[in-house]
Amino acid sequence: MSNVLKLAVIGGDGTGPEVASEGLKVLKAVGKLEGFSVDATEFDIGGNRYLKTGEILTEKDIEQLSGFKSILLGAIGHPDVTPGILEKGILLTLRFRFDQYINLRPVKLFPGVETPLKNKTPDDIDFVVIRENTEDMYAGVGGFMHKGTPQEVATQTAIYTRNGTERWLRWSFEYARNRSRRKHLTLVGKTNVLTYGHDLIYRTFKEIAQEYPDVETDYNNVDACCMWMVKNPEYYDVIATTNMFGDIITDMAGIIQGGMGVAAGGNINPEPGGVSMFEPMGGSAPKYTGKNVINPIATISAAAMLLENAGYSKAAERVMKAIIAATGTKMKSQAAGKMGYSTTEVGDLICELL
Ligand code: IPM
Ligand code: MN
């Protein structure tokens, strides 16, 4: 642990800057208690800059960001920009350029938070999804033929590589080994239909499993996983899944853990010198922008993941405990405008509870 936590902050669009600044506030407060200072550099990247200058993500941005181990991201997505331009041009490009091959999404129902699942408690909903973050249909491989004509053909190819599969699954096994006493890892795919790509993944999974006799493994097809996640979320400890399925099932998981106000994720490059990026899962929420009503808990939870990844485990734990105290004993709801506190007050509350 260094005594200076250096990070980049991209507030981004909509409510992104509001939540990012609460995340930063909590990092600074926990640093004071744990004996480190926070050196944050803010980056002006997002829809507003794009509308002003036409720049989405420049080589200079990438070069500057590459000097940081950690990035805290607010949100990307602007109502005046065609959907996809910023998401692909900023968020996905950052994930790809920094080779953040792990997308770690903890799914934990905090005390006091409402879940739409009947009779399920924080004891039942506590698992993580490890989504592969650089391959699959996200690789951007494809094209058009005869575009705009009745004969149009479009392809969108899913890419799976042995190397990409192996590094993500190996990391998942390590994670399952260390996460809890259960040491249970479920691979989620679609081997009954994707008989090439998911065959490669399944074979790799079986092979690596041999090296981890202490980790219990299982395989679910993604459609069945959706059923079980709703019916028996307590079955899951660690889920490893592909990029597109991971995108879909983590939105469902986000809702069962109480919604976008609390769901956080990390885009991690675990290699030495890797640049990792932590973000709330919710979007830029244009209708709440500037009103001081959005819930910053997801971003604060992302900040805790950032701390853990940067080697400040005690500080990370302290932030998580404060979040649990806030949701369990103070906040009325996790929905924007209904928390019983404003955005900045939730940030202050977490700082007090640290
Ligand atoms: C997510 C988001 C992104 C994704 C979008 C905004 C490109 O939905 O982080 O889950 O599909 O990965
Ligand atoms: Mn998504």
- The CATH number covering residue 73 comes to 3.40.718.10
User: Cβ-count burial of 207 within 10 angstroms (0-12 exposed, 13-18 middle, 19+ buried)?
Assistant: exposed
Give me the count of residues in the chain.
Answer: 354
Pocket flag, ligand 1, residue 137 (CB < 6 Å): no
Of 224, 257, 290, which residue is a domain's last? 257
Q: How far is the CA of 309 from the centre of ligand 1 (A)?
A: 21
**Do 129 and 252 lie in a common domain?**
yes
Of 238, 257, 276, which residue is a domain's last? 257
**Do 252 and 266 lie in a common domain?**
no
Pocket flag, ligand 1, residue 91 (CB < 6 Å): yes
Closest of 307, 320, 310 to residue 28, by C-alpha: 307
Index of the ligand 1 atom closest to the CA of residue 103: 9
**Do 126 and 253 lie in a common domain?**
yes
Nearest residue (by CA) to ligand 1, atom 11, is 247
Per residue in 267-304, pLDDT (tens digit) is 999 999 999 999 999 999 999 999 999 999 999 999 99
Q: How far apart are CA 34 and CA 47, in angstroms?
A: 36
Strands 238-241 and 126-132 come out as parallel
Identify which ligand lies nearest to the alpha carbon of 251: 2
Q: How far apart are CA 8 and CA 167, in angstroms?
A: 26
Identify which ligand lies nearest to the alpha carbon of 95: 1
pLDDT score recorded for residue 1: 78
The count of domains in the chain is 2
In the predicted model, residues of the chain with pLDDT beneath 50 are none
Of 231, 257, 283, which residue is a domain's last? 257
Q: How far apart are CA 218 and CA 189, in angstroms?
A: 11
Give Cα 46 distance to the centre of its chain. 18
Are the beta carbons of 105 and 252 closer than 8 angstroms?
A: no
Note the pTM of the prediction, 2 decimals: 0.97
> Which amino acid appears at position 141 of this protein?
V
Closest of 260, 256, 258, 262 to residue 236, by C-alpha: 256
Nearest residue (by CA) to ligand 1, atom 8, is 247
Pocket flag, ligand 1, residue 283 (CB < 6 Å): no
**Do 119 and 253 lie in a common domain?**
yes
Pocket flag, ligand 1, residue 93 (CB < 6 Å): no
**Do 230 and 288 lie in a common domain?**
no
Index of the ligand 1 atom closest to the CA of residue 243: 12
pLDDT score recorded for residue 301: 98
| Domain encompassing residue 200 | 115-257
Where would I find the H helices in the chain? 16-34, 47-53, 59-65, 85-86, 93-97, 162-179, 197-209, 222-231, 243-256, 297-310, 313-329, 343-353
Q: What is the DSSP letter of 235?
A: G
